[in-house]
Structure 1
Amino acid sequence: MKNAYIKFILAAVIFGTNGIIASHIPLSSYEIVLTRTVLGVFFLLILATARREWGSLRRASRTSLVWLVLSGLFLSGNWLFLYEAYQHIGVSLATLMCYCGPILIMILSYFVFHEPFTVPKVSAMVIVTVGILCINGAADQAHGLSWGLVCGFLSAVCFALLVIAMKKVI
């Protein structure tokens, strides 16, 4: 159990420093995403080979494989738009815009999976939306609607679609 906590903390630290590190890399957002994707593919290929898990991929249904490919595209879109937003509006605002994703997931889940809206879900959506509007609304009034804010929102859309696609795989 202690090992699981260490892995969780390490993952949180890596994820939390993602924007800070990316904002100091002298590459375009497209180059960063391409590099991350290629490195991720190689790592997963090595891991799947070492664990001999290719059989599970061969046994997967075509529908699952299509959803897996779509998930990869949505993940790439999330990264691409998020890193582009980092470069235009900074890490803090871009991250806040990306956090619209869970709201979109709850809305899409209602239509895709017929998950009902409950009072806690609707309350959380309203609170988060008001918070995001308060914080990003001030930035919008100061600078106007920018490409960075649009990219931040598109990263949230891709994140929501990624989660929905992964739920379809399972």
Structure 2
Amino acid sequence: MNISAMLKMTISMAIFGSIGFFTVKTGIPAAELVFVRCICATLFLGACWFITGQHRVEVWNKREVIQTMICGVFLVLNWVFLFKAFEEMSITIAISIYNLAPIFVLIIGSLFLKERMTMTSLFAIVVCFLGSIFIIGIQNFTTPSSFMSSGFVWALLSAVCYAMTMILGKGIKGLSAYAMTFVQTSMGILMLFPFMNYDVFNGLSMSNWLYILGTGLIHTGFVYYLFFDSLRKLSTVIISALVFVDPVVAILLDTLLLDFRPSILQTVGIALIFGGIIYTLVKPNILQVENTIQKL
């Protein structure tokens, strides 16, 4: 067991869990915040890429570069939609829906990649669907306007884009993590540049700027460095467990610092969503461990 890698992964997930709290304190809209985030990540991780000398040994494959660029489009849209969700709903609710991404991986894989849908996967999808209804409030599903204004659509879109990022990223083997992220965040700068409203940066307080730079340098640059540095040194079982540090921190900050109090139905919804996701991630790993023991 690599204790150093586990510690890095835990720290990265804990820091990333505070991104919602930072986002609501920046004072700027979602697109502009993602634009700053892409610039900071490109500079920070680009510097790490060159300092480590990894740029000298990169193997540039045309197909992988194109795939990485498409993956970057979904990554940036994922960030924009998630930050939009933070503007419309509580961090706890947005993060809970955002973490449905593994469920969408199952659905997309079944529909388009001809992957077999197991009873475990189907059960998890049904449980998470019920959790989504409870968490957003059944009353918000009665009219299109109430549904659209709830922020649920933004959070759902962020989860779908995150799922697409995971699916596309799985097939990229030749590029290093630094090169892949550098290409993706550079894509974000190019995508968002024509749509930026630079007036939103006028009149910001020092506190706003600190939260903005924190989101860019800490939550993107530093966190991604820790994440990628530890990712390839840990087993799938450990990673599956540690990724839940992120939503736990996000929910704690939302309830302790932003005074969010979920209703009983929302609490049930949160439990159903994370229960379904944990079941989806843990069940295959348990079976894999059991099969290994039987072989021994």
Answer yes or no: same fold by TM over 0.5: yes
Task: Find out whether 1:154 has 2:154 as its counterpart.
Answer: no
SS at match of 1:146: helix
1:160 positional shift? 1.2
Map 1:1-170; keep pairs closer than 5 Å.
1-57=2-58, 59-138=59-138, 140=140, 144-147=146-149, 148-170=151-173
Distance in 1 between residues matched to 2:79 and 2:69, nearest whole Å: 16
| Higher RCO by CA contacts (8 Å cutoff, separation 6 or greater) | 2
Distance in 1 between residues matched to 2:111 and 2:49, nearest whole Å: 34
Distance in 1 between residues matched to 2:166 and 2:67, nearest whole Å: 11
Distance in 1 between residues matched to 2:107 and 2:133, nearest whole Å: 18
Stretches of 4+ aligned residues off by more than 6 angstroms: none
Q: Which runs of 5+ in 2 are unaligned?
A: 174-296
1:69 positional shift? 0.8
1:56 positional shift? 4.3
Q: Which runs of 5+ in 1 are unaligned?
A: none
SS at match of 2:69: helix
Indicate the RMSD between aligned Cα atoms, in angstroms: 1.9
Distance in 1 between residues matched to 2:163 and 2:57, nearest whole Å: 26
Distance in 1 between residues matched to 2:165 and 2:139, nearest whole Å: 27
Aligned CA distance change for structure 1 residues 47 and 116 (closer, same or farther; 3 Å): same
Question: Could you tell me the TM-score, scaled by structure 1's length?
Answer: 0.90
1:64 positional shift? 0.5
Distance in 1 between residues matched to 2:53 and 2:112, nearest whole Å: 34
Distance in 1 between residues matched to 2:63 and 2:40, nearest whole Å: 26
SS at match of 1:117: coil
Task: Decide whether the 8 Å contact of 1:100 with 1:129 is kept in 2.
Answer: no
